[in-house]
């Protein structure tokens, strides 16, 4: 008997922020995509990530959805290194701040955006295995059915089945310390805030909060959010309520009458990164590609940025616009970015050690970061505003994020990010109008003539020379900078957006 197998261009395992962002990027490009999510619904149990960095907010602004997040979150200076806050309010960006917003809200906003594209999300289902061949991937599901896809992307977290089944190594550093995180009712009112002691760092707070004048303000009532460093390393992923009570007593001398745990989980300081982000037609993004402790709030942000880097490339390959080799640039660009994040987190974890000698080192590091140049450099790095893809030598803009300029075009004022709302690349001509002929690519690249009279400035770098023209990828990064007499533009257009169309 012949069985009908549902076919999609892309199947994504995981409906967290990374999977949802990737689905939105693909759907925006007209790609048929489906998501498989093991949770029964979008409801997220636990705290997970708690905010967005400036570059991620910019990315949402590039798609015209930043206001959805800003309306629900709390603007604050969230960039930090080794627990030292780093102010970016003087940075040349429209979003020179971070956003306090719990992951459950971030996921709901992204799910609503993806829902506008009618992307199917199959809840209560898991990918149990897959088999890939030259033409696609057969994806086996927990309900006994199979999906056929051109590509499978694992956005299924640090214990990724997709990564393991693809045979992709996950080297890194084993855990040295473990932490409990939970939400629980307490009979007694604890002292909320962060505590450092011989065991490590601990905190008590509430899930919902406000930020007023840079300070976190919690409501008077409600369950207590707990984060505790455990006395002994434990790597079991299933902590008990007894574990939580014992850890509270070890730190605070009391469990504050803890009862009715809403949820309890454990995380460690293990740091690992996939050796490759791709095996044939199977790719990895987000925590499936890299895991680390939550220092600096990096995880969700680099996962979303993985998705935006991959989405437009995968769409062009599926459409036949670009060769499959374009997908190799995903690993080439994103692997070094995550490797740098992991290195920084290893430093941050080392500086969190509770001994007196490390305390002196922390104080010295804080003194260094109080200086303007180190503060700018590290703040740009931690906020994602200094990301630089190696696209060759040339203008400082090459391979970096394009600033959201206030342009003047023929029809009036124009914000540059508005040109990226549809996920299309842009050739921005700031010189003599109509001086670039890109007719063989006009079916896939926007050509915009505009003027800009303001300064050209990049975070951590400062002022740069004003270019005559820039080629901007759909992810907002500059693929080419040049003059109308330069010959490299057709080469850049072909590299990133496929060969010319005969006109």
What mean pLDDT, rounded, does the chain reach? 92
- Each residue's pLDDT tens digit, 100-133: 998 889 999 999 999 999 999 999 999 999 999 9
Q: How much is the average pLDDT of 357-376?
A: 94
Residue 48 sits at the vertex; the CA angle it makes with 181 and 21, to the nearest 5 degrees, is: 170
* pLDDT for res 479: 97
What are the backbone angles phi and psi of residue 280, rounded to the nearest 5°?
A: 65, -115
For residues 398 and 467, is the Cβ–Cβ distance under 8 A? no
Q: Does residue 2 have a pLDDT over 70?
A: no
Lowest-pLDDT range, 172-186, 344-358, 414-428?
344-358
- Each residue's pLDDT tens digit, 454-474: 999 999 899 999 999 999 999
* pLDDT for res 222: 85
Q: Does residue 299 have a pLDDT over 70?
A: yes
pTM of the model: 0.94
Tokens standing for 191?
Answer: 């002292």
| In the chain, domain spans | 1-46+102-173+271-344, 51-101+353-385, 177-268, 406-497
CATH fold for the domain made of 177-268? Alpha-Beta Plaits (3.30.70)
Dist. CA 316–CA 150, nearest whole Å: 13
Per CATH, the architecture of 406-497 is what?
A: 3-Layer(aba) Sandwich (3.40)
Dist. CA 83–CA 348, nearest whole Å: 8
* pLDDT for res 108: 94
Q: Does residue 157 have a pLDDT over 50?
A: yes
Q: Does residue 219 have a pLDDT over 90?
A: no
Q: At what angle do helices 17-28 and 103-115 cross, to 10 degrees?
A: 20
Per CATH, the architecture of 1-46+102-173+271-344 is what?
A: 3-Layer(bba) Sandwich (3.50)
* pLDDT for res 221: 79
Q: Does residue 476 have a pLDDT over 50?
A: yes
Q: Does residue 214 have a pLDDT over 70?
A: no
H/E stretch holding 272 reads strand 271-273
Q: Does residue 215 have a pLDDT over 90?
A: no
> Is pLDDT larger for residue 293 or for residue 354?
293
User: Would the CATH topology of 1-46+102-173+271-344 be identical to that of 177-268?
Assistant: no
Q: Does residue 1 have a pLDDT over 50?
A: no
The band of 3, judged by pLDDT with boundaries at 50, 70 and 90, is low
* pLDDT for res 131: 97
Lowest-pLDDT range, 62-76, 114-128, 342-356, 393-407?
342-356
In SS3 terms, 45-94 reads as CCCCCCEECHHHHHHHHHCCCHHHHHCCCEEECCCEECCEECCCCCCCCC
* pLDDT for res 283: 98
Q: How much is the average pLDDT of 27-53?
A: 85
């Amino acid at each position: 008997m012949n069985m009908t197998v549902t076919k999609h261009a892309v199947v994504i395992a995981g409906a967290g922020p990374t999977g949802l962002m990737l689905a939105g990027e693909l759907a925006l490009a007209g790609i048929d995509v489906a998501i498989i999510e093991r949770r029964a619904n979008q409801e997220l149990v636990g705290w997970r990530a708690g905010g967005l960095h400036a570059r991620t907010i910019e990315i949402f602004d590039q798609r015209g959805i930043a206001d959805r997040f800003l309306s629900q979150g709390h603007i604050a200076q969230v960039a930090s290194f080794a627990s030292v806050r780093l102010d970016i309010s003087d940075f040349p960006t429209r979003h020179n701040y971070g956003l306090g917003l719990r992951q459950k809200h971030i996921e709901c906003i992204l799910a609503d955006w993806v829902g506008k594209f009618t992307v199917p999300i199959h809840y209560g289902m898991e990918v149990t295995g897959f088999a890939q061949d030259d033409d696609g991937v057969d994806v086996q599901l927990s309900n006994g059915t199979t999906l056929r896809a051109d590509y499978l992307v694992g956005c299924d977290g640090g214990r990724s089945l997709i990564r393991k089944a693809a045979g992709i190594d996950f080297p890194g550093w084993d855990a040295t310390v473990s932490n409990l995180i939970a939400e629980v009712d307490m009979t007694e009112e604890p002292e909320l805030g962060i505590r450092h002691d011989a065991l490590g760092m601990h905190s008590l707070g509430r899930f919902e909060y406000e930020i007023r004048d840079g300070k976190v303000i919690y409501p008077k009532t409600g369950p207590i959010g707990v984060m505790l460093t455990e006395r002994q390393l434990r790597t079991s992923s299933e902590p008990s309520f007894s574990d939580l009570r014992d850890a509270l007593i070890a730190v605070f001398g009391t469990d504050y009458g803890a009862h009715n745990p809403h949820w309890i989980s454990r995380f460690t300081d293990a740091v690992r990164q996939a050796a490759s982000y791709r095996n044939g037609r199977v790719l990895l993004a987000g925590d499936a590609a890299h895991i680390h402790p939550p220092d600096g709030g990096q995880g969700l942000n680099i996962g979303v940025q993985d998705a935006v880097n991959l989405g437009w490339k995968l769409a062009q390959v599926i459409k036949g616009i670009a060769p499959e080799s374009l997908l190799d640039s995903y690993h080439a660009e994103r692997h070094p970015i995550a490797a740098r994040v992991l290195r920084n987190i290893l430093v941050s974890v080392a500086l969190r050690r509770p001994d007196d000698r490390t305390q002196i080192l922390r104080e010295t590091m804080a003194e260094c970061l109080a200086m303007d140049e180190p503060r700018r450099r590290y703040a740009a790095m931690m906020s994602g505003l200094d990301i630089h893809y190696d696209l060759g030598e040339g203008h400082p803009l090459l391979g970096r994020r394009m600033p959201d300029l206030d342009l003047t075009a023929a029809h009036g004022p124009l914000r540059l990010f508005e040109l990226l709302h549809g996920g299309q690349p842009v050739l921005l001509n700031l010189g003599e109008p109509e001086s670039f002929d890109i007719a063989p690519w006009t079916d896939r690249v926007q050509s915009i003539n505009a003027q800009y009279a303001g300064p050209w400035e990049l975070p951590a770098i400062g002022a740069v020379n004003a270019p005559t023209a820039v080629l901007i990828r759909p992810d907002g990064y500059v693929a080419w900078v040049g003059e109308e007499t330069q010959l490299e533009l057709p080469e850049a257009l072909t590299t990133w957006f496929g060969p010319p169309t005969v006109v």
